[in-house]
Amino acid sequence: MKNILTAPFMVEMIRTATNMYDHGWDERNGGNISLMVDEDEVAKYLDLNSVLREIPTGFDASTLDGKYFLVTGTGKYFKNVQYAPEVNLGLIRVTDSGRTAQLLWGYADGGKFTSELPAHLMSHAARLAVDPENRVVMHCHPGNLLAMTYVHDLNEKAFTRTLWQMCTECIVVFPDGVNVLPWMLCGTNEIGIATAEKMGSARLVVWSQHGIYGAGKDLDETFGLIETAEKAAEIYMKIAHLPLLTTITDDQLWLLVDRFEVEPREGYLAPRQA
């Protein structure tokens, strides 16, 4: 059987976690990632009948029964993932109608999955209902997006439009916009349910005064979504206190929509000029 540390999904997970830490998005043990992996891929590296231990999930995720996820561990530092992946990551199989996670590899120090697993799995279920190719849920604490939630209206349309107007590429990268939650207690089923509901209409969900959740078909796409939104928030935070002399207009945003053949969030742009 092949060495799981050489698996493409493992190599990419380690690289992404390291890159997120290097970007300053995941201080200490802040942030978490879950990557859904196909059973036939897992079977190349692990004995699917060899369960190391079972860990209760604390909620019902029946739509994900039998699915496999590579997940960062609770209390683990992203900076250490590259040095000790078997301690900081775990590969689990969801079973018992989602109430149990069977550990097939990882958490070698006796640890467990991130405390945000409910939010992750609920978000996976919500995104899969919209896009069957969704494979990734990523949570981190980008400084400018976090800062923006202190000084900007948290109305989702207003928040999205501001980000779209900061960088030409934004409406192309996330035409579905950004959804926003008010401050909520993290690590609970309640914030998981609220996040999953927001994930039904957008791949980016901002947790006010906390961070952001992103979802996508692979690690690169999801990282890029957050990276683009964070760059836009950085520009906003640099200019918000200055007189605004020019911006990207709705007419110009429509030109981008047509050029790159994307579908903007309904009602977020002014009607096209005749």
Q: Report CA-CA distances (Å) from 252 to 82, 225, 240, 274.
A: 43, 21, 21, 14
Residue of 256, 122, 260, 192 whose CA lies nearest to 272? 256
Amino acid at 261: E
Residue of 181, 202, 179 whose CA lies nearest to 191? 181
- Whether residue 116 lies in the annotated active site: yes
CB neighbour list of residue 154: distance below 8 Å, 6 or more residues apart: 180, 182, 208
Strand order of the sheet with strand 211-216? 53-56, 100-106, 89-95, 68-72, 32-37, 136-140, 211-216, 204-207, 179-181
Residue of 61, 1, 75, 94 whose CA lies nearest to 31? 75
Residue 132 buriedness (CB in 10 A; 0-12 / 13-18 / 19+): exposed
Residue 160 buriedness (CB in 10 A; 0-12 / 13-18 / 19+): buried
Task: Quote the CA–CA distance of 164 and 145 in Å, as a whole number.
Answer: 13
Q: Choose the catalytic residue: 54, 116, 221, 261.
A: 116
> Which residues are identified as catalytic?
116
